[in-house]
Structure 1
Amino acid sequence: MALNKNIPLFKCSVIHTMPGRVRVGCRAFQYLSKLNSKIEKNFTGMRAIKSAKINNITRNILICYDKRLTSQDEILILLREIVSKYSITVYKNERGDIGRRISQVKEVREESTEDILKRVAVNAGTLSYSLITKQNWSLISGTSMFSKFTTIPALISIGLIAPLFKTGIGSFRYSLKPNADTLTIISIISSLLLGKDVSALTIILLSDVAELLTAYTMEKTRDSIKNMIDLNEEYVWKQLEDKTVKRVSIKSIKEKDIVAIHTGEKVCVDGKVLSGVAVVDEASITGEFEPSVKRTGSYVFAGSIVKNGNVTVATEKAGDNTVVSRIIHLVEEAASKKAPIQDYADKFASYLVPFNFAFAALTYFATKSAFKALNMLIIDYSCGIKLSTATAFSAAINTAVRNGVLIKGGNYIESLSKADTLIFDKTGTLTEGRPQIVSIVSADKTIKEEDIIKIAVTAEETSSHPMAKAVMRKSGQLDIRIPKHGDIITYVGRGNETTLEGKIVKVGNKAFMEESNIDTSQLESEEEMLISRGESIIYVSFDGKLIGLIGIQDKMRDNMRKAINNLRHKGIDEIILLTGDLKEQAEIVVDKMGIDSYEAELLPENKVQAVLKVQSQGSKTVMVGDGINDAPALAYANVGVALGGSSTDAALEASDISIQGNDPMMLTSVIELSNKTMNIVRQNFGLVIGINSLGLVLSAAGVLPVFWGAVLHNSSTILVVSNSLRLLFHNMERGI
């Protein structure tokens, strides 16, 4: 039981029992070896427990107890509680273990399309010359074995496969395991020994065509990300000590250097604005389509564009440390983070290579035909199986990048396709994270709404609280000048106080009013109405009397309800809300959005525990947050998705997938892309295994000549790569 990887990590099941003794299996013990003594002390410190011993290898614990003081059921409950305390450690260690178990087999060769095209051109030219002239002269005359290796096609074949000797022979030398390159080398050498030099060239040509398609996909992925956010700047204006500026290479810029950026120029560093004002387009970094105004103290990021104005910036990050460089690096390195199915494909392909040799030997002994045996080496599964996953995931990442979605690796595409539980943060994710005033209620008909805002803004002017900022924005919209007022006194968790025209102004929550002996009963019915609509209330008093209520609400993201409904159709069984807001606010959002359950008033660490609790029940989770306060939960979910992202640094560090725009419908688009990618991978597996199995049967029966065996095998590889390339043309907006 405990060895089954499909069983939830924290599920505790009895393996063996007898009176006063029970052995319980739990996969979590595999990752708790350093905490054995601590966990065992939790048990032995109890009067009812005689002893407890953990075996990390077999992943179980043996507990001896006094059956007069406790029961087996009570021990199981206690065990679950104790093990769950270490849930974060368990999940962290499990992920590290998965990373270490990634197969070390050879990756798809990373050659440029130009290099492969040269190989194809040389091969095609030689092959055409041999077929047209039908000349097969050799540097060594006669019919000796060596003469077969000195024909023009043979020499070109050996030259083309020369790079494979290091990986193919090296693999066999150090691990005693042949790989796909080993098989390719032997099949080419065997073809030459049999005098089939043209067949050898054909095998290499078709293989290179498949490699060319794969390299093209990889390069398209890199080009997409670079075209989206590349700097394309080689020089920058550096401010010298005497305040003059000098045009220098961007490579020479270091931390603390001051650079000047002018209208129309791209920002080439991450840093803080020291002086000047500029309108900056940050769409390529944050996904916000509306340019933002940068003043002294504001931060700018490399890759953004100064639309208007001039600023000087103190460099904090330059070169490869900038946000834009890290984005490019993450996407370029995505291929190294292999999906489980990709790792499985690589291992499966490697395991099949020895069988090709076995098939070749059996065929030769059964038929005494070297040609039939050669076909067993020419037709192999490994190349097609590897390319069927690598190309598909690369193409999917390419398509996502072109639509403003950064996926850090193919493993997250596969995890997303298996997800059944979606967990949302509220503020900044379900909502826009920008509270705004939606209601103003006057206590007296003689008091206008503008008067309430005018009085409230005197006490909120210096506050950085989001609700205070909403009041400030409203005063700006109404073109209200802030009256002269006294010093502002802040009561933490309550509100603010100041004086206006010699009278006291108090703005804050209901508790603040009650502490100040200000009667709020006259607006009790209006208060209940605002609360029922999910509005947070600011109470405004002047000269000891309540003059009005201000209702503030964080607007739901456009299309969020539609996105949630679509997600259910994509296979999401449960949707959960985790928020630090009050229970009442969470309940309103749950009702509006049709969410299944929620937990409120959570700290970031509480969100992690909630995520791990869901995972311990066997659910595959996707956590959607803003990448800042949700960073821990994003990191521990099976897939962490940063939607929009008010902080690019935090979103990149914490999330596995970063959606640069603010449209929640992109969530459904990414899931559709992941599902389509996995369908194509499965199709590719079927094509490779089906076509090559047919080829092996026909070859062994003597129906398929060596040349056509090579054509069939390499055509299957080209077919699966071409099938994967369909993902480059996937329309994420329409889902096709």
Structure 2
Amino acid sequence: MTTEHLLACEIIHKIKGRVRIRIKALKYLGSLKSQVEKQLEQVKYIKGAKISSVTGTVVIYFDDSLAQEDNLMALLQNTLNAYLVEIYKAERTFNNKNVTIERKLQEETPEEIIKKIVISACLLGYNFFKKAPLNPVVGIRRIFNPNTMAIMSLAGPVISNGIGSLIKNKRPNADTLSSSAIISSLLLGKEKTALTIMIMEEFSELLTVYTMKKTRGAIKDMLSVGENFVWKLEANKTVKKVPIEEIKKGDKIVVHTGEKISVDGTIVEGEAYIDQSSITGEYMPITKKVGENVFAGTIIKNGNITVEAEKVGDERTVSRIIKLVEDANFNKADIQNYADNFSAQLIPLNFLLAAIVYGATRNIQKAMSMLVIDYSCGIRLSTATAFSAAINTAAKNGILIKGSNYIEELSKADTIIFDKTGTITEGRPSVQTINVLDKEMGENVMLAYAAAAEETSSHPLAVAILNEAKDRGIEIPKHSGDKVVVARGTETEVDGSVIRIGNKKFMEENGIQTEEYYDEIRTVLSRGEILIYIAKDNNLIGLLGVTDPPRENIKKTINRLRGQGIDEIVLLTGDLEQQAQTIAAKMSIDSYESELLPEDKAKNILALQSKGSKVIMIGDGINDAPALSYANIGVALGSKRTDVAMEAADVTIAKDDPLAVPEVIGLSKNTVKIIRENFAMAIGINSFALVLGATGILPAIYSSVIHNLSTVLVVGNSLRLLKYKLKS
């Protein structure tokens, strides 16, 4: 869907001072209709505006001495553009509701489906061993015997939904295809064929239902939002340990160092360093003070706070993430693969041919053969085999593709969105710049002092410094206990000298001057690095620049993606503006948004889709889960990806090499190319068989041979994908 399609204007009728304009977006305004009307009427040259959601038109009364029709159309488009995300969501929901009527498989349990498979298998065994009657009954009378009635009963939900789609939706769905094959087989006396089709269908449903159940469970298990019990602050200022379920809006809870925050709320007492990476994606813990908001699922790295609960239970941010993921899984745009679409369109042709043959010959067997020798078998198998082979090849290369429709969507993508931390970058801060300001001191000595001050800290910046010292083989000198000042830094004593390491404010509060090193400081900050000051006693002795380095091969990955026709590459991150700007510039990324919450990322996805973009979202964390679900294709990348990201994603890349992304897109494009070749073969050969069979030139047995030959050809062509080489 493109913006131009939704906002394309057409003048239906006009007279002096009045015009009726058709624009499709008006059909999907819903409750926004009156708001848009009022907004239009506020324009000085518009006297009145009336929108019809049924016809998708608006009647505008205006002063024609101040404006022309072109001005009105431009104004209308600009006005609706502000609501484009809501309009696009409404259109997608409408299309999903009206394209097909599909059974809700998530309402069936795996146990119920297994029971149906067992019963079908028993009936299939019975039909293999029963003796064929001397004068078999064919046609509609075959339905009314215990054997076929049992088969019809098992196939009831499929047949009911298939017919229901035809009646209510005026078009067939996947169940209509199965229903046609099952009923045709029964009418021709081929109970074994009908049962085989049903078993295959039920087995497919079993895998689908199991996957749905597993995905929902994994999301809820992995998004553990906090402690089972919390410390509630009572009215008498004592604390009491209570179950999280007892906490209500307005209650105050006390959270200590190392604990998870279990509610969304506001800090009313205390100060703490809080790791918000599970929600925002920013890898650095940040300081939170009285009056600032905190989120359930985040962890206190240092400090104690009292939080007044504002959102509890399902209202919490992390619970909204669960809902976003689940809603997207069940309301994702209805991407029909080639087989479903094309086969559904050709089903009426088979019925028409059957009717024509019966009318001409009065021979029910010849008429029924028009349904046996149909397009749907070859077309469906041509796609199924190709998709299966592609998924197999991807799996052998450490890439899990969750469904065949995602391969088709990968081939269409024109926009890729990257998360930053752990996707474009490694997610592990490291020391990039070492600037010794004391000319009599070496780098290793300065790093030894810094490591001494940070030795007992688990802060990501401290880990980066300690790793640098370890890589250089630096021995950490003996020192006194470390004194931590929250949101400032740490200090220790080495050989009688006080070593301080931290931010600029920490230095200033201890009387250490930094102004004379303005140029050195500005140089580090200009590279987007986090600046750490190191002082000995009252003198600044060095600067460290810490950053999260880009992944190996990420630049090469972006270049290859552009070569595959990706028009736009976007960075969406919860990290700070400076870090986002720096990495976007280094990677030549087209645009970026920073300091985003998970729901903000999802809104950005929808905004791009509303403009016609086919979006791939690549991420690795819990905070990426909603965006991964709302994108046309969600890709979870790397061995460090969270399980919830993997469950929310449509494609999971188990290895850390981002070059796998362009390779899997290349595989998808090759798969679609082979499917098109299969379509040509299946349609051509089966058309030949149907024409000859309908005219009586070719006996039914030979028509069947030709039909099965097309199947062999498309399978053989599809199996070439098993040998496809991924280069990453």
TM-score (norm 2): 0.67
Q: 1:50 aligns with which of 25, 47, 50?
A: 47
Would you say the 8 A contact 1:440–1:551 is kept in 2? Answer: yes
**Does 2:426 align with 1:426?**
no
Q: Aligned equivalents of 1:603 and 1:539: distance in 2?
A: 30
C-alpha distance after superposition, 1:559-592 (max 9, x if no partner): 2122222222322122233345566544543454
Alignment partner, residue 34 of structure 1? 31
C-alpha distance after superposition, 1:296-348 (max 9, x if no partner): xxx9xxxxxxxxxxxxxxxxxxxxxxxxxx9xxx9xx9999896233x64355
Q: 1:562 aligns with which of 551, 556, 564?
A: 556
Q: 1:11 aligns with which of 3, 7, 13?
A: 7
Q: In structure 1, what residue type is equivalent to 2:39?
A: N
Would you say the 8 A contact 2:138–2:187 is kept in 1? Answer: no
1:85-484 paired onto structure 2 within 5 Å: 85-101=82-98, 103-104=100-101, 138=134, 166=156, 179-180=176-177, 183-184=180-181, 188=185, 340-342=335-337, 345-346=339-340, 348-367=342-361, 372-457=366-451, 460=454, 465-477=459-471, 478-481=474-477, 483-484=479-480
Would you say the 8 A contact 2:101–2:165 is kept in 1? Answer: no
Q: In structure 1, what residue type is equivalent to 2:33?
A: N
C-alpha distance after superposition, 1:476-508 (max 9, x if no partner): 5534157225633234xxx32546478765534
**Kindly tell me: are residues 167 and 624 of structure 1, through their superposed partners in 2, closer, same or farther at Cα, counting changes over 3 Å?**
closer
Q: Aligned equivalents of 1:363 and 1:352: distance in 2?
A: 17
Q: Aligned equivalents of 2:26 and 2:140: distance in 1?
A: 59
Alignment partner, residue 246 of structure 1? none
- SS of match in other structure, 1:664: coil
Q: Aligned equivalents of 2:676 and 2:103: distance in 1?
A: 22
Q: Aligned equivalents of 1:11 and 1:147: distance in 2?
A: 56
Q: What's the offset of the Cα at 1:639? A: 2.0
Q: Aligned equivalents of 1:58 and 1:482: distance in 2?
A: 80
Q: Aligned equivalents of 2:724 and 2:666: distance in 1?
A: 10
Q: Aligned equivalents of 1:334 and 1:680: distance in 2?
A: 28
Q: 2:483 aligns with which of 474, 481, 487?
A: 487
- SS of match in other structure, 2:533: strand
Q: What's the offset of the Cα at 1:361? A: 3.0
Would you say the 8 A contact 1:337–1:408 is kept in 2? Answer: no
Q: Aligned equivalents of 1:536 and 1:169: distance in 2?
A: 63
**Does 2:672 align with 1:678?**
yes
- Unmatched runs of 5 consecutive residues or more in structure 2: 106-112, 219-242, 245-258, 261-296, 298-321
Q: Aligned equivalents of 1:646 and 1:573: distance in 2?
A: 28
Q: Aligned equivalents of 2:720 and 2:37: distance in 1?
A: 55
Q: Which stretch shifts more, 166-175 or 607-616?
A: 166-175
Q: Aligned equivalents of 1:66 and 1:464: distance in 2?
A: 69
Q: What's the offset of the Cα at 1:649? A: 4.4
Q: In structure 2, what residue type is equivalent to 1:622?
A: I
Q: Which stretch shifts more, 448-457 or 9-18?
A: 9-18
Q: 2:705 aligns with which of 711, 715, 720?
A: 711
- SS of match in other structure, 1:629: helix
Q: What's the offset of the Cα at 1:695? A: 0.8
Would you say the 8 A contact 2:424–2:550 is kept in 1? Answer: yes
- SS of match in other structure, 1:340: coil
Q: What's the offset of the Cα at 1:372? A: 4.4
Q: 2:663 aligns with which of 665, 669, 676?
A: 669
Q: In structure 2, what residue type is equivalent to 1:644?
A: G
Q: What's the offset of the Cα at 1:432? A: 0.2
**Kindly tell me: are residues 392 and 695 of structure 1, through their superposed partners in 2, closer, same or farther at Cα, counting changes over 3 Å?**
same
**Kindly tell me: are residues 530 and 188 of structure 1, through their superposed partners in 2, closer, same or farther at Cα, counting changes over 3 Å?**
closer
TM-score (norm 1): 0.66
Would you say the 8 A contact 2:370–2:690 is kept in 1? Answer: yes
Q: What's the offset of the Cα at 1:120? A: 8.7
C-alpha distance after superposition, 1:5-44 (max 9, x if no partner): 5555763535456665555555444443023233333344
**Kindly tell me: are residues 470 and 85 of structure 1, through their superposed partners in 2, closer, same or farther at Cα, counting changes over 3 Å?**
farther
Alignment partner, residue 501 of structure 2? 507
- SS of match in other structure, 2:427: coil
Q: Aligned equivalents of 1:352 and 1:435: distance in 2?
A: 57
**Kindly tell me: are residues 455 and 219 of structure 1, through their superposed partners in 2, closer, same or farther at Cα, counting changes over 3 Å?**
same
Q: Which stretch shifts more, 430-439 or 631-640?
A: 631-640
Q: Aligned equivalents of 1:718 and 1:220: distance in 2?
A: 26
1:570-589 paired onto structure 2 within 5 Å: 570-581=564-575, 585-586=579-580, 588-589=582-583
Q: In structure 2, what residue type is equivalent to 1:569?
A: G
Q: Aligned equivalents of 1:359 and 1:18: distance in 2?
A: 52
Alignment partner, residue 268 of structure 1? none
Would you say the 8 A contact 1:337–1:411 is kept in 2? Answer: no
- SS of match in other structure, 1:453: helix
Would you say the 8 A contact 1:419–1:572 is kept in 2? Answer: yes
Q: Which stretch shifts more, 384-393 or 155-164?
A: 155-164
**Kindly tell me: are residues 68 and 347 of structure 1, through their superposed partners in 2, closer, same or farther at Cα, counting changes over 3 Å?**
same
Alignment partner, residue 489 of structure 2? 496
Q: In structure 2, what residue type is equivalent to 1:11?
A: L
Would you say the 8 A contact 1:168–1:180 is kept in 2? Answer: no
**Kindly tell me: are residues 21 and 160 of structure 1, through their superposed partners in 2, closer, same or farther at Cα, counting changes over 3 Å?**
same
Would you say the 8 A contact 1:415–1:638 is kept in 2? Answer: yes
Q: Which stretch shifts more, 169-178 or 386-395?
A: 169-178
**Kindly tell me: are residues 704 and 191 of structure 1, through their superposed partners in 2, closer, same or farther at Cα, counting changes over 3 Å?**
farther
Alignment partner, residue 311 of structure 1? none
Would you say the 8 A contact 2:450–2:534 is kept in 1? Answer: yes
Q: What's the offset of the Cα at 1:437? A: 1.1
Q: In structure 1, what residue type is equivalent to 2:707?
A: H
Q: What's the offset of the Cα at 1:689? A: 1.9
- SS of match in other structure, 2:664: helix
Q: In structure 1, what residue type is equivalent to 2:484?
A: I
Would you say the 8 A contact 2:399–2:651 is kept in 1? Answer: yes
C-alpha distance after superposition, 1:118-146 (max 9, x if no partner): 999988899xxx9xxxxx982x6xxxx75
Alignment partner, residue 56 of structure 2? 59
Q: Aligned equivalents of 1:156 and 1:719: distance in 2?
A: 39
Would you say the 8 A contact 1:459–1:488 is kept in 2? Answer: no
Q: In structure 1, what residue type is equivalent to 2:565?
A: G
Q: In structure 2, what residue type is equivalent to 1:38?
A: Q
Q: In structure 1, what residue type is equivalent to 2:675?
A: V
C-alpha distance after superposition, 1:332-380 (max 9, x if no partner): x9999896233x6435534544433332332344456666444323322
Residue correspondences, number: 606
- SS of match in other structure, 2:697: coil
Q: Aligned equivalents of 1:147 and 1:646: distance in 2?
A: 61
Q: What's the offset of the Cα at 1:548? A: 0.6
Q: Which stretch shifts more, 10-19 or 349-358?
A: 10-19
Q: 1:619 aligns with which of 587, 598, 613?
A: 613
Q: In structure 2, what residue type is equivalent to 1:340?
A: I
Q: Aligned equivalents of 2:166 and 2:522: distance in 1?
A: 76
- SS of match in other structure, 1:538: strand
Q: What's the offset of the Cα at 1:159? A: 10
Q: In structure 1, what residue type is equivalent to 2:587?
A: M
Q: 2:686 aligns with which of 688, 692, 699?
A: 692
